[in-house]
Amino acid sequence: MTEIVTAGLLVIGDEILSGRTKDKNIGFIAEYLTNIGIDLKEVRVVADDEDDIVAALNALRARYTYVFTTGGIGPTHDDITADAVAKAFGVGIDHHPEVVARFKERFQNPGELNEARLRMARIPDGAELIQSATILAPGFKIGNVIVMAGVPSIMQAMMDIISPKLRSGVKMLSDTVRANCREGDIGGPLRAIAQAHPDTIIGSYPFIDEDKKPNTNLVVRSRDPDKLNAAMEAVKEMLKQLHGSTTS
């Protein structure tokens, strides 16, 4: 049987929930994982509350192959993700000597390497660092949990570092056709096609087209190219009959 590799995403931060910061990571991670054959199945957003982070993390890591987190590994008092992850795994947390050495090399002026910056060197026991020459404060991987920064550019660099080490499954394939009709006009026939092709996922996505009229894109997804093609042919035949009946 072909392995299906799944993932959950935990977005951490009061600033996301308050609207002060607009999340730019969910879409990137979803597309990135799809492209490497990992299905993102669930996204949760939680505040900077240790108990909430632990509860969400334990629920997600028990359910999915991998859990990715973003946010909460900076230098301020409310950056508590590393502590929450350590608590979830029941391990200790301390300043990682390799990270501290990097910080001392970077911050050589007296007072620069203060307590706040040293918070970013605290890593749960047994975790694997996610770092490079261009990333000062590392992320880390422990068990099936990958902890990353909330800053999009840093998170994206971390994804590039960790992705070669992840298992992946067969990639989800997709094909799209423009329906040139309203979503409500094809709901019934589309449901019948979906039922007849259970190994595919068929979605309808309404939009306003260039003529300012309601229109719909139909997307068929499957891991099996033959089943994808069969379902798409059925969709195109349904649209052909629909437009034939509306123009006759």
Q: Give buried/exposed letters for 165-181 (b at 16+ CB in 10 A, else e).
A: ebebbeebeebeeebeb
- The amino acid at residue 77 is H
Query: Do 113 and 220 fall within a single domain?
Result: no
Nearest CA among 62, 59, 43, 40 for reference residue 51: 59
Query: Do 152 and 179 fall within a single domain?
Result: no
Number of domains the chain contains: 2
What is the Cα–Cα distance from 148 to 150, expressed in whole angstroms? 7
pLDDT at 154 over 90: yes
Query: Do 103 and 214 fall within a single domain?
Result: no
Q: Average of pLDDT values for 24-37?
A: 94
* Cβ(42)–Cβ(26) below 8 Å: no
pLDDT at 248 over 50: no
Domain span at residue 192 reads: 173-247
Query: Do 86 and 206 fall within a single domain?
Result: no
150: buried, middle or exposed (CB in 10 Å: 19+, 13-18, 0-12)?
A: buried
Query: Do 146 and 121 fall within a single domain?
Result: yes
Query: Do 23 and 88 fall within a single domain?
Result: yes
Give Cβ neighbours of residue 48 (< 8 Å, ≥ 6 apart).
12, 13, 14, 72, 78, 79, 80
Query: Do 102 and 39 fall within a single domain?
Result: yes
* Cβ(122)–Cβ(92) below 8 Å: no
Q: Average of pLDDT values for 189-211?
A: 93
Give residue-wise pLDDT tens across range 112-152.
889 889 999 999 999 999 988 778 889 999 999 999 999 99
pLDDT at 1 over 60: no
Nearest CA among 113, 110, 62 for reference residue 88: 62
Query: Do 103 and 216 fall within a single domain?
Result: no
Q: Per the confidence metrics, is the pTM higher than 0.85?
A: no
Identify the CATH number of the domain in which residue 134 sits.
3.40.980.10
Nearest CA among 129, 152, 157, 131 for reference residue 142: 129
106: buried, middle or exposed (CB in 10 Å: 19+, 13-18, 0-12)?
A: exposed
